[in-house]
A and B are shown apart, each in its own frame.
Chain A
Amino acid sequence: MLAGLTLYFVLFRSIQYLLVFLTPVRQFDTSTAPLLNELCSSPTEINSYWNKYFWNKLLAWDAVFFIKNMTSRNGKPQFEHEYAFSQLWSSLVRWVTKSNSENIYHVLKVAVAMENVLFYLSGIVLYFLTKKTFSHSKKQSQFSESIARKTSLLFFLTSAAGFLTSIYSEPLSFFLAFIGILSRESSISIPVSGQFDCPWRYWFSYSFISMICFTLASLNRSNCILLGIYFVFDLIELTKNRRLVKAICFPLLSGLLMLSALIYQQYYLPYRTFCPQRGEWCKSQLFPNLFITTTSLYSYIQGHYWEVGFLKYWTLNNLPNFLLAVPNIIILVYSSMYFSKIYPSYNLKPLVWITRVLVVTVCIFAHVQILNRIASFIPLHLWYLADRLVKTSDPKQMENPKGDDKIVKFYIYWLAFWIPLQTVLFAAFLPPA
């Protein structure tokens, strides 16, 4: 299993990096040149063969913000809007490259290596998570093994793969989210009677490991805050089953700690840094002399600098971006229906809700095409695809697929075009971002 997955991972990444190399040197957005002139003092180094034909092309879109933070002298964002880009990921790279963190190419190479390692490890963790989720009995062990292999392979073919050639923060969140979900899955028990429980012996893995992983994933990528739905779900279930002490010591404690960390990052730190001299969002204090504002810094940044907000993206000129997101919207919606209506699974309930909330939130509030990039921290759609692929064991059946299998085939065919095209578009500094 491990050898096969590793082989395919190396193969897919090699093809992608070959495409980056083959993309023309002159990018559509020519701003990488002035960026490099400012961050790297040696023109010879900028124009050396491998930098010119390969590494420079990876500094497109959000990678610009990450490289700026990773190579800055004090490691702190210079401007307000730069707080939207993970400080955790930048700090981790700075920590690894501490002896040489001002050499842009050294930092870039280390960050790309870390990106790939985290992406690969996430796939491996996902394999064990899938096995754990789908093996309820010995009978199902072969089925779970098969579905786990396919899920991890599908994860390596994520619709975010083009961006993940660079130094984006997503793989860190994927890794933490999968570890957190796996730890939570290992800490709960659902006996045949259906009485949800959290045995005391798993307190550490639930209230510490899961909580830490979900919290760090959310601090890294704010969309991972939806993982908190696990704690809400568990709290409701334990309360319903009259296990009040456990409800307090497991999900309530974990959820509160996660919430506290997010309030510290999203409200306390920004307020201490910018207010009251900033005005704007600082003025929306909920109570006088309290740092809690009705608009968090992150929401303010998204709305003010990137026009993110209720139906703000629903304009005619964004139609191509909606079309780009359609395959993932379909597959996410179908996967939530599949695991709630067709093959309802009790232990997948929280994930179904996380998927639903993510789709609705992104479609209504955000730049909808980012769904292609951020959705992979939820494995539900990958399980849907893998489940259908396992159940359609006969390749002839896939010749003329029907129903769900038709959707699965369409999605895989789309990925086959989308991933290489997205890789070239990214290296050429072209949209979609």
Chain B
Amino acid sequence: MKVAQNQFVQWIIAFIVLCFGFVQANTESILYKVPHNFPLSKLRDRVASTNDVNFIPFISLLGEAMEQTTIKVNTTNLQLRNTTYIELTDLQADETYQIKVCWSAIHPISISNLQTVVIPRFTEFRGTTSDYARIVVMFQTLPDSYPSEHTMVPIQVSLITTRLSIPVDIYPILVVMVLLVTGLLVTRAPRVLNDVLLKF
């Protein structure tokens, strides 16, 4: 019986994780694995070597498992797709991260071409240079409504460490769900519900 219960819990978790891959609506996400030999900079080196790097907004994971920033994207220009760049700093080599872009449905925009690009060291990028190679996430924003909205849309970009291929921000929700399913099984909730319906 216990083996069957464990299998059921595992099945539920597997299904939920599978569902995460098909999130639609106002979230776009990608996974990015930092190459094991990537020459990552340390914070003090970066500050000492370049003064202009902060012209590009950045998310630093220094001492954190996840971090997020809110940027405002202008959707006024209908002809040209707006491209947003955010530098990802203080990552670990050989680690996989989830990059998640969320925006409120009250602003009908579409996000496309969410990807990471590596900027080699000493290479000028949007008016900035660095002594170290940089990892930049980029995505394009386009109004997707009638009439088009011309405004500054707040967009939340999150950088999240993954463990066992699952972003760490999912774990608290997974724990609640596993506890919930376990609770339902232990209390024999389905059977109780069935009996209530039979006797009511």
Interface residues of A (CB under 8 A from B): 4, 8, 19, 22-24, 26, 28-35, 37-39, 61, 64-65, 68, 78-81, 149-150, 153-154, 157, 274, 278, 280, 305, 317-318, 320-321, 323, 389, 392-393, 395, 398, 409, 412-413, 415-417, 420-421, 424-425, 428, 430-433
Contact = CB atoms under 8 A, between A and B. Distances in A.
Nearest to A318: B22
B92 interface: no
Nearest to A413: B190
B105, B184, B199: residue with the most chain A Cβ atoms closer than 10 Å: B105
B178 to A, nearest CB: 11
Contact of B146 (A35, A274, A425): A274
Contacts of A393: 198
B23 A23 contact: no
Secondary structure at the A interface, as helix, strand, loop or mixed, is: helix
Contacts, number: 146
Given A28-B169, A34-B154, A320 B26 contact: no
A176 to B, nearest CB: 26
A28 B170 contact: yes
A240 B67 CA distance: 70
Nearest to B199: A395
A433 B24 CA distance: 9
Residue with the highest number of chain A CB atoms closer than 10 Å, among B146, B155, B169: B146
Contacts of B74: none
Contact of A31 (B156, B194, B198, B200): B156
B18 A320 contact: yes
Contacts of A149: 200
A412 B146 contact: no
B23 A395 contact: no
Contacts of B106: 35, 38-39, 64-65, 68
Given A28-B20, A28-B23, A430-B173, A153 B197 contact: yes
A125 B154 CA distance: 45
A30 B198 contact: no
B31 to A, nearest CB: 15
A28 B181 CA distance: 20
A275 to B, nearest CB: 12
| Residue picked from A31, A37, A61, A393, most chain B C-beta under 10 Å | A31
Contacts of A415: 193
A414 B37 CA distance: 49
A65 B108 CA distance: 11
A23 B27 CA distance: 20
Contact of B197 (A61, A65, A154, A433): A154
Contacts of A433: 24-25
Interface in B107-121: 108
A320 B2 CA distance: 26
Nearest to B146: A80
Given A31-B104, A416-B193, A417-B190, A26 B169 contact: yes
A157 B25 CA distance: 27
8 contacts: A34-B155, A39-B106, A61-B25, A153-B197, A318-B22, A412-B194, A413-B190, A433-B24
A8 B192 CA distance: 13
Nearest to A157: B193
Interface in B169-200: 169-170, 172-173, 176-177, 180-181, 184, 189-190, 193-200
A24 B70 CA distance: 21
B102 interface: yes
Contacts of B12: 417, 421
A280 B146 CA distance: 11
B173 A22 contact: no
Max chain B Cβ within 10 angstroms of own Cβ: one of A34, A392, A417, A430 = A34
Contacts of A317: 21-22
